[in-house]
Every structure is written in C-alpha cells, then in structure tokens.
Amino acid sequence: MASSDPASLSGQAAIVTGASTGIGAACAVELARAGADVVVNYRGSPQEAEETVTAIEALGRRAVAVKADVSMEDDILRLFDEAEARLGPIDIVVSNAGIQKDAPLAEMSLDDWNAVIAVNLTGGFLVAREAVRRFRRKGLRESVSPALGKIVFDSSVHQVIPWAFRANYAASKGGLKLLMETVAQEVASEKIRVNAVGPGAIATAINAAERENGLDEMLKLIPYGRVGEPADIGRAVAWLVSDAADYITGQTLFIDGGMTLHPSFKGNG
Ligand code: NAD
C-alpha cells in the first residue's frame, strides 16, 4: 500500500539492471529498504544475484533474480515480461549495468569500443525505451505515486570529466547524459521522471585494481577524503525515485565527495 511518507516506495515495484554486485546491488537493497519490491537483473553469476535477493527478502520485500544481457533487445523485452509476471506493474527502473575496457586510444580495439558502448549506452537506451512503453501501458496510479514512472541512469562523473585511456567509457557516459536529458524532455508531460546519478570513485569490482595500485592518487581527486561506498549511491537513488523528489527530472545528481569540484585548483590556477 502507498504510504503518506513521500520518501517511501511502498506499493511500488522496481527493476535494477546489473544488480548482482556493486552499486546495482546497493540500489536494489536501498529501494527495498524504502519499501519497493525489486527485480534483480544480472548477467553473470546467479549466486551473487541470489545474495541480493536474500538481502532484500530479509528486509521483508519481494525480490526475483532475472538473467538478461542489457545490450540485447530480446533480453530486455523478456526481462520486463518476467518482472511484470512476478511482481506486477513496474514503477521504477534503474539502468545501472556498465562495463569498462580501458586502453590508450591508438591501441583500443573496435571490439572493446563496441562492447562498452553496447552495454553502457545502447543498454541504457533499450532499458529506458521499454520502461516508457510499460509505464504507459500500466497507467497512472495516483494512490501509489504522482509520477507515472521513474527512470534513473547510473552515469558517472565521466559524463563531464574527460578520462584518458578510457575513450569508450567516457563517450558512453557522455552519451548517457544527453540520452537522459532528451528522454526526460520528451516524456515529462506524461509524468515520467528521468534522472541520472553521477558516481565518483565508489569501492566496487570495476575499480578494484585502481584502488589497489593507486589509492593515494585517487584520494587526491576526492576533497571529501574517502572513496565512496555503493550504499552512498543506493540511498540517493532511493530518494531520487521517491515522491520526495517528485519535481526533479532531467538532472544528474553527482555523488562524488566533491570530485567534480576540480580539486586540483584549490590553491592553484
Ligand atoms: P560492477 O562491476 O560491480 O557492476 C556492474 C554490473 O553490471 C555487474 O553486476 C555486471 O554483471 C553487470 N553487467 C555488465 N554487463 C552487463 C550486461 N550486458 N547486462 C546486464 N548486466 C551487466 O561495478 P559498479 O561500480 O557497481 O558499476 C555499476 C555502474 O556504476 C556502472 O554503470 C558503472 O559505470 C557505474 N559507475 C561506477 C563507478 C565506481 O567508481 N564504481 C563510478 C561511476 C560510475
């Protein structure tokens, strides 16, 4: 049932892509903590996805793990079909799945360029397109939320900060920024809210090697003085999709300990 608390997600169902690990898992758990039932999409290990499911069930919410590759159109259709069959109409979609395949530009293979764009950008398009279709089919349920639906993309500080040796990744996140803003403009009148989060350095598998080999250098980029935790993103996403944020659409919320504040300019320039 809907709650009088605008931060509550009670009575709503969510899909989170790439939710078996890292930021996606934290988003799934924090959405559940706020009251939502959650579809845990994964591509790799079902075991890790089941761990996220167990964590959500421990919070008293329903959860199901559904395998799908976000870069494959048929997989996305099946993901939404299975999600609706198991949890009912979907109110919230978090497009989180993403990969990195780093290389200097001159050595970057076309395969590695295509792989990153396919998951990070085309995956975001496929997920958002299907979300909008399903929100329309569901119809507005004002007793649940004033919004017809909510989409959040997991972008990055690298939608605005260039990142040498990662042209594919930075291009995918820069593309996500305008995908998000364009879709937000297109569907706002239907009461669909579309936003992004822009994490800085968050402790997950995607940057384990960088943290192991260069933590001090990384910390120089973070005025707040610590690497972020996945829950830092999860809590913000849970708020962004809640009615407490009902007037917010087309925005990127940077969650980065100040990384986008150009810390190297402190005392210089
Ligand atoms: P992660 O590697 O733990 O998570 C990525 C998840 O996406 C994994 O669960 C993986 O299985 C899944 N995935 C990959 N390809 C997929 C596909 N084709 N279909 C479905 N799922 C797929 O790392 P993370 O840091 O949690 O990354 C999550 C998102 O956060 C990514 O989009 C990443 O770009 C973004 N991000 C992370 C950081 C950071 O510092 N960790 C910073 C900015 C942005």
- For the question of whether the overall pTM of this predicted structure is more than 0.85, the answer is yes
Q: Give me the helix-helix angle, 123-138 and 167-187, nearest 10°.
A: 20
Q: For ligand 1, pick from 206, 212, 222 the residue to mutate: most ligand atoms within 8 Å of CB.
A: 206
Q: What is the band of 4 on the pLDDT scale with cuts at 50, 70, 90? A: confident
What is the rounded average pLDDT for all residues in the chain? 97
Residue 169 bears catalytic tag = yes
In the chain, what are the domains? 13-201+229-258 (3.40.50.720)
Q: Is 252 in the pocket of ligand 1 (CB under 6 A)?
A: no
Strand order in the sheet with 149-154: 63-67, 37-42, 13-16, 92-95, 149-154, 192-199, 252-255
* DSSP assignment letter at 166: -
pLDDT tens digits for range 202-245: 999 999 999 999 999 999 999 999 999 999 999 999 999 999 99
Which residue's structure tokens are 């803003």?
Answer: 181
Q: What is the band of 2 on the pLDDT scale with cuts at 50, 70, 90? A: low
Residues 190 and 139: beta-carbon distance below 8 Å: no
CA of 226 to the centre of ligand 1 (A): 20
Burial class of 153 by CB neighbour count within 10 A (0 to 12, 13 to 18, 19+)? buried
Percent of the chain topping pLDDT 90: 96
| pLDDT average, residue stretch 94-105 | 98
Cα separation, 155 vs 96, whole angstroms = 8
Q: Is 17 in the pocket of ligand 1 (CB under 6 A)?
A: yes
Tokens of 63: 């959860």
Q: Give me the helix-helix angle, 46-58 and 22-33, nearest 10°.
A: 20
Q: Is 172 in the pocket of ligand 1 (CB under 6 A)?
A: no
Residues 6+ apart with CB under 8 A from 39: 13, 14, 15, 16, 63, 64, 65, 66, 79, 82, 83, 86, 87, 90
